[in-house]
A and B are shown apart, each in its own frame.
Chain A
């Protein structure tokens, strides 16, 4: 049963096959896909990116993705298109006049295209946030500068700690009869300020001990390295090569101008030649890599459980 491995409601989330891949793969994939989505304004490429982004976001985030995409992004597309239509009066095909302003077909189409581009990028980023978690980010930057990696890791440590402390401060103040329900809002704002200042004083005091603990474990010695738990296995090298190859082809095609399109003053589509077909295929192939991995994962899991 598919439902064992993948629940449509919840989405795959951190169970996704691509989630377990090396951060370098995750990062290069999203960098290329989001980059190409932003620069390739050819309608065929735009729509394919839009479609793939929808598929992957639903696979990863389940019903939440559908809800967000439908309720927030579709209205946003309509709004952006309307905005462009009413504000831009370039273009040769005049449909009608509104308050002495030209409403042109080109403006409508360009508005729609850029709205779709923007929403695709947003959806891709929602997938990115599932796949690339903070520790992957930390790892990637740690390769360049270990201190930066450490700083990011410390920030991730202090956010929950400060939240916890703040709750404790607020509870302690309440039990002293401060900041209660029913007191005036000026009093409550002053009380909030007081609680923040307690939090700051307490945290500064605690950070002295943290600094000692870092110092005691050799912080500041020359030649700091960065530890991680990621492995770059053999299969991942092949995958990285595939991502770079397909991505390279698409980027090259972009750079050669095969995906550029003129919207103003009149829409000018380049002819769809063999080269365009090849780059479209490469683009679709690139975008589908994580989904293929997931499908393979679900299939493997089913097989291994069927055998038992």
Chain B
């Protein structure tokens, strides 16, 4: 029985010539787990919103969208509310009440249920999601992952038959994202709820899915099982989606494009074993594994490059009696390098950035910026052509109504002639690939474009050192490559970039050096090769798959090349 069926759906926003959806037809059966993917702006969100009555966008719609055989447009409001659940991207913006228990009951209140029944339903769902321990908390005390789980749970209390999710994990760190996806899988297998989810990160999602839909320029290009869809993408259909595929698929497609593709790390290992044989004890490469040097400031100072940012024995705690957040941080970043600090949540990564920008003051230790003690610098010396930080939310910088004015605003307090200003804005907008968007409102840009606008704004201030807090959060894989290219160019021009991130794959591919932050200090540091090849868990997927054969191959390209594959 089909729960959703779309036939020949065309849609255009008012005032737009081009259709956002072009002749889209597909159907979803009961209890299926379907993944919808595609480049940002390909019409995924528009399509998903058409499946929920109250969220349907205004515009010109042709074709039929049926829920259980009835037009979604004509569904009864109560049926639409309770049977079709919709989870959006941003964990914070979806929460409307102040207490966890109240948020859980929001939908049930709308349906006008009796208090007794609500209590039972809320209790049931809180137990299913493991929310009991934070049931009475204020929502402002929750972590991002908890907030998104709460959003999911507050929809599940209404016992929907169909759950639609629009990039639900894009704002979460990888561990919270895995938890969230595991919960989704549990909902699908244990409650039989039909799931339709759009997502960029396919690494974990692909093995869970029954079916994959790939959209390109408003059309449905692929509608197939996960293995078959992966094979189609690897063979060149929707080429742009290739970078979003799991690393195992990318390796397999380069080495043996015709066979059955592995989807998980486990399958990948077995597949490599078939190709290469058992990883023998005599593998000579095992002994060649590069040794990771214990991280000290000396090792950084001994090299010829002077360090631009250095921290020595820095200690900090938030409250007088609370535990230390930073416990003797040692850090030395050299001029012109892209330095990445990796690590889990709450280990002190962001606090380190705050210490550098003087938002918090360490009680012990020294911090030097370009050879000068941080506390000796005035705010003006520190931030004017010195340090600059890209905030996690680019919106925190936007004040104007067009991209051009936004960029000009960055120069507003520097006394430059107008043509000079215009020239610099033109240069930076070319650099950030924003030329075609200069008259657009900043809030009408996509997440990745907003990120680049914010970066462009910061760069117009001509900083020498750029601090980045989670720059790849919520970006699609295609966009990440653009961003990496920009970073590379900046480093080559002499800028030093220090970034804090969860994105292991990004660091492995593009960082000059990586450091692991744990328990308030930096425990290891080295080039991506030195850094990742020593780890068995905290490393890239490609390295986890092929580490037994090629310990020093970090990226999927390296593994594929070692296996004799050809990389297009």
Contacts and interface: CB of A to CB of B under 8 A. Distances in A.
A212 interface: yes
Given A164-B140, A176-B457, A197-B399, A218 B111 contact: yes
A226 B54 CA distance: 22
A169 B413 CA distance: 18
Contact of A218 (B92, B110, B118, B393): B110
A175 B99 contact: no
A161 interface: yes
- For the complex of A and B, 9 pairs with smallest distance between CB atoms: A218-B110, A218-B81, A227-B105, A180-B379, A156-B98, A175-B389, A177-B383, A209-B93, A223-B112
Interface string A156-181: 11001100110011011111111011
B359 interface: yes
Given A153-B98, A154-B97, A225-B114, A146 B90 contact: no
Nearest to B136: A229
Interface string A198-225: 1001100111011011111111111111
A194 interface: yes
Q: Which interface residue of B78, B88, B102 has the most chain A CB atoms within 10 A? A: B102
Contact of B359 (A171, A216, A220): A171
Contacts of B383: 174-177, 180
A95 to B, nearest CB: 54
A307 B55 CA distance: 60
A161 B140 contact: yes
Contacts of A146: 109
A176 B397 contact: yes
A92 B122 CA distance: 68
B467 A175 contact: yes
Contacts of B86: 212, 216
21 contacts: A146-B109, A154-B96, A154-B97, A154-B98, A161-B92, A168-B396, A171-B357, A172-B393, A178-B413, A180-B379, A180-B383, A201-B399, A209-B90, A209-B93, A213-B151, A214-B96, A216-B85, A219-B106, A221-B81, A225-B113, A227-B122
Contacts of B102: 135, 153, 227
A172 B396 contact: yes
A153 to B, nearest CB: 4
B154 interface: yes
B320 to A, nearest CB: 17
A201 B397 CA distance: 11
B393 to A, nearest CB: 6
Nearest to A160: B140
Given A224-B112, A228-B115, A209 B98 contact: no
Contacts of B391: 168, 171-172, 175
Given A174-B357, A209-B90, 20 more contacts: A135-B102, A153-B102, A157-B139, A168-B392, A168-B393, A173-B397, A175-B387, A176-B458, A177-B384, A198-B396, A201-B443, A202-B393, A212-B55, A214-B96, A215-B55, A216-B155, A218-B111, A220-B110, A225-B108, A225-B114
A134 interface: yes
B388 A224 contact: no
A209 B88 contact: yes
B22 interface: no
A174 B458 CA distance: 11
A177 B99 contact: no
Interface residues of B, number: 69
A190 to B, nearest CB: 10
A137 to B, nearest CB: 12
A150 interface: yes
B106 A217 contact: yes
Chain A interface SS verdict (over half): helix
Contacts of B397: 172-173, 176, 198
Nearest to B138: A160
Interface string B375-402: 0001110011001110111011111000
B88 A227 contact: no
A182 interface: yes
Nearest to B49: A212
B525 to A, nearest CB: 25
A193 to B, nearest CB: 10
B395 A202 contact: yes
Contact of B388 (A176, A214, A218, A222): A176
Nearest to B101: A229
Contacts of B90: 206, 209
Interface in B190-218: none
A175 B458 CA distance: 9
A171 B109 CA distance: 38
Given A175-B467, A176-B461, A205-B443, A150 B97 contact: yes
Contacts of B12: none
Given A135-B99, A182-B379, A221-B78, A210 B94 contact: yes
Contacts of A135: 98-99, 102
Contacts of A227: 101-102, 105, 108-109, 115, 118-119, 122
Contacts of B92: 161, 206
A83 B492 CA distance: 76
A251 B296 CA distance: 77
A218 B77 contact: yes
Given A157-B95, A216-B54, A217-B158, A202 B396 contact: yes
Interface in B99-148: 99, 101-102, 105-115, 118-119, 122, 136, 138-140
B253 interface: no
A209 B388 contact: no
A303 B53 CA distance: 59
B429 interface: no
